[in-house]
Amino acid sequence: MKENVILIGFSTTGKSKVGRMLAQRLGWDFVDTDDVIVEMAGKPIPDILAQDGKDRFRELEREALVRACARKRTVIATGGGAILFEKNRELMQERGWVVCLEAKPATIYRRLKEAEARGEPDVVRPLLAGPDPLERITWLKEIRQPYYAIADWTVHTDVLTHAQVVEEVLHGLGYFGIKPGQPSEPREESASSVESADQ
């Protein structure tokens, strides 16, 4: 049964920031699966990848998604690569209305460079590595693009502010009967509280 809103999309499309704002507008809870992964592992995602490997990271990502999707009335921001796996896509479609936040490769590259200038290396280092980061972003996005088709609603974020993206998402959710509730500060869930919801 669909009981959540699940945000998918490439890095820098605004899933976390939009997710928090959207949860506030809906009066729902908010879960960022990347935050759940970090809490479960006890270390940042770059350290998980460097020390434990990508396979372990994907296991943690799957577990975080399962826990988050077991909830109700929750906006869930997923990691950029979560949609690569069929079981993850099936779970998202089963448990929520999936919203894809889109951006062109050039926009993604610009946003990554801006994040780098702000001193956010953990976010940008993997995607800006190599001789031609824009080509790498374009290639990765082409691989993922077919999987974004699972979305019930898609918002192109290139020229929109986060607040405008939220309005576009709410417009789409309205077609599924989801309306803004009493605005409130979204209650962000830790790994432990997300886990308890799954039991």
Low-confidence ranges of the chain (pLDDT < 70): 121-125, 182-199
pLDDT of residue 196: 39
pLDDT of residue 195: 47
pLDDT of residue 122: 62
| Pairing mode of beta strands 74-77, 153-156 | unpaired
pLDDT of residue 199: 36
Catalogue all structural domains in the chain, each as residue range(s) with its CATH number: 4-191 (3.40.50.300)
Give how far Cα 187 sits from Cα of 5, 11, 180, Å.
Answer: 15, 23, 16
With 0-12 / 13-18 / 19 or more C-beta atoms within 10 angstroms meaning exposed / middle / buried, residue 99 is: buried
pLDDT of residue 198: 40
Give yes or no for a contact between 71 and 197, defined as CB atoms under 8 angstroms apart: yes
pTM, to two decimals = 0.89
pLDDT of residue 99: 99
Angle between helix axes 45-52 and 121-128 (nearest 10 degrees) is 50
pLDDT of residue 18: 98
pLDDT of residue 124: 58
d(CA 77, CA 99): 10
pLDDT of residue 121: 60
pLDDT of residue 187: 54
Q: How far is CA 155 from the centre of its chain?
A: 13
